[in-house]
Chains A and B, each alone.
Chain A
Amino acid sequence: MTTYFTKAAAIHANKLITSDYDQPHVVQQEANLDYILARIETYAEDSHDERKKLLRKTALLMRYLAHEGHVFADGNKRTTFALVQAFLELNGHEIAYISVDAETERAAIMKETAEGKRSLNQVRRWLESVVQKKP
């Protein structure tokens, strides 16, 4: 069974992140947040493989929030990454920390995703390559 975070938690993540960088915390497209949180609950439910199902849901969360959601005035990419990692962890997986270089690469991937340069399938394939079961 998949575990989800709540809308309040998503908003709290952005509050923490913007506060850390002295930016205003503004929820500007709350309806988009409602939509994506409802959508990931029903998406990929036809998948019988639990890992594939989780990664498909995570890819949808990552691409939609980073690229199309415009949910927050600031910190959308950072909040998306935090929510992606939290969603994976809640379901026994994680994007494992490798190195500082890997962080730079991940920042580039988040940026490309936010700019719409990575399709949903490309995002899913990237997740397949970096997500592992939590030890």
Chain B
Amino acid sequence: MEMVSEAINTANAVVLQVDDMANNPPHRAAGNLDSMFRRIMRQNKKMMDILSRQ
């Protein structure tokens, strides 16, 4: 009986976690961030060049 109770409590905890994720989904930036990546590459050109040779 104790094991059954523990299993139910664990299942409830999992359901609560899933509910929490559904209510507070991670915020993701829209799009492919193309211009941001191009700018980062341009601003760090020397580092990118060094790393490309390694």
Contact = CB atoms under 8 A, between A and B. Distances in A.
Interface of A: 1-6, 8-9, 12-13, 16-17, 20-21, 23, 41, 75, 77-78, 81-82, 85-86, 89-90, 97, 100, 103-104, 106-107, 110-111
Interface of B is mostly: helix
Nearest to A105: B47
Interface of B: 26-29, 31-34, 36-38, 40-41, 43-44, 46-48, 50-52, 54
Contacts of A110: 47, 51
Contact of B44 (A8, A23, A41, A81): A81
Nearest to B24: A1
